[in-house]
């Protein structure tokens, strides 16, 4: 059974070459979508065996082209992989051992962010459907869309040795660049988003990641990434507002800060109690001061 690996590359960091090298003994063909590579990077990739290069305009987010690129592959099985991911030897061997048992694999992903393996806050095991028989998994074109799936699943155990290795954000600038790009694209799909709704979504994301899913166990890395998700939804709203030519339909805007921070303190106190986290007295004092 022929295996096609599919990857879209724009970045010129070292990881894309490591990604491709990790696929040489696994895939029969490697379909590379050039979405903005430099000539130097293109030259290096052409030197790798079994590579077929397709050229696409640079998209604001990959979902716009993902299924088109997959459709260009020739394999019975398809591995979709990002340019900052590594398919380890252990995972390759595991997949090939179990290919006859299923139609697609759901694979754990080890997210390494700012040099730290994130083991909480929904960053682990971060299951992804990435290896599948062609025709059994199909992606839409909306941002952050989940694929349509049919057939028999094989769930790979959530152990480090069998995880897809994801070198996610190596610097905070990389995170900011991607978040701005995604926020701008998402704003186009949410023209009626209100400021309060955006802040509520952001707060819910922070509370669930940092407290409910124990992001605090990842230390400063956990806090920074959870809080960044809160800020992301504010970014989305600002782009919605920009799309309205900076005209706001918000009423009683002066009440928004009190509503937001009141809710934030309430949720924080609740989850600090649930998770038995020290420091509740300080937040209780602030809550009482703001409630007067």
Domain limits of the chain? 3-167, 172-291
Q: What is the dihedral of CA 157, 161, 163, 164, to 10 degrees?
A: -150
CB 200 within 8 A of CB 206: no
**Among 96-105, 134-143, 228-237, 252-261, which is the least confidently predicted range?**
252-261
Angle value at C-alpha 83, between 28 and 190, nearest 5 degrees: 120
285 or 49, greater pLDDT: 49
Q: How far is CA 13 from CA 85, 118, 124, 170, in A?
A: 12, 21, 24, 10
CB 250 within 8 A of CB 238: no
> Which SS3 state, helix, strand or coil, does residue 48 take?
coil
Give pLDDT tens digits for 151-180.
Answer: 999 999 999 999 999 999 999 999 999 999
- In whole angstroms, give the CA distance from residue 13 to residue 83: 9
pTM (predicted TM-score):
0.89
- Dihedral pair phi/psi, residue 207, rounded to 5°: -60, -45
CB atoms within 10 A of CB 167: 20
From 39, 42, 33, select the one nearest 64 (Cα to Cα): 33
- In whole angstroms, give the CA distance from residue 38 to residue 279: 51
- DSSP, res 59: P
Structure tokens at 144: 């952050």
Structure tokens at 286: 């602030």
Q: How far apart are the first and last CA of the chain?
A: 70
Q: Which of 3.30.70.930, 3.90.550.10, 3.40.50.300, 1.10.1040.10 would CATH assign to domain 3-167? A: 3.90.550.10
CB atoms within 10 A of CB 203: 19
**What does the mean pLDDT of the chain come to?**
92
Q: Is the predicted pLDDT of residue 265 greater than 90, yes or no?
A: no
- In whole angstroms, give the CA distance from residue 20 to residue 153: 26
CB 73 within 8 A of CB 31: yes
Q: How far is CA 261 from CA 196, 227, 240, 256, 275, in A?
A: 11, 14, 22, 9, 21
Q: Is the predicted pLDDT of residue 253 greater than 60, yes or no?
A: yes
125 or 47, greater pLDDT: 125
Q: Is the predicted pLDDT of residue 287 greater than 60, yes or no?
A: no
Structure tokens at 67: 């299924």
């Amino acid at each position: 059974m022929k295996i096609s690996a599919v990857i879209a590359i724009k970045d010129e960091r070292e990881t894309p070459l490591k990604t491709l090298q990790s696929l040489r003994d696994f895939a029969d063909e490697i379909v590379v979508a050039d979405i903005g590579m430099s000539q130097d990077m293109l030259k290096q990739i052409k030197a790798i065996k079994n590579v077929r290069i397709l050229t696409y305009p640079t998209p604001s987010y990959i979902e716009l082209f993902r299924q088109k690129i997959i459709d260009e592959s020739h394999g019975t099985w398809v591995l979709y992989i990002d340019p900052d991911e590594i398919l380890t030897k252990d995972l390759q061997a595991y997949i090939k051992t179990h290919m006859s048992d299923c139609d697609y694999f759901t694979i754990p992903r080890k997210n390494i962010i700012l040099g730290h393996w994130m083991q909480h806050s929904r960053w682990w095991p971060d299951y992804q459907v990435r290896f599948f028989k062609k025709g059994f998994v199909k992606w839409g074109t909306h941002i952050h869309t989940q694929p349509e799936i049919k057939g028999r699943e094989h769930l790979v155990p959530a152990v480090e040795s069998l995880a897809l290795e994801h070198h996610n954000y190596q610097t905070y600038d990389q995170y900011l660049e991607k978040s701005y790009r995604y926020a701008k694209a998402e704003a186009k799909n949410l023209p009626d988003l209100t400021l309060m709704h955006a802040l509520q979504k952001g707060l819910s994301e922070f509370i669930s990641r940092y407290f409910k899913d124990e992001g605090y166990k990842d230390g400063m890395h956990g806090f920074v990434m959870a809080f960044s998700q809160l800020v992301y939804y504010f970014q989305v709203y600002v782009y919605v507002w920009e799309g309205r030519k900076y005209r706001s339909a918000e009423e009683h805007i002066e009440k928004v800060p009190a509503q937001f921070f009141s809710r934030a303190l309430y949720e924080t106190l609740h989850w600090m109690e649930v998770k038995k986290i020290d420091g509740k007295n300080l937040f209780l004092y602030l809550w009482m001061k703001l409630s007067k």
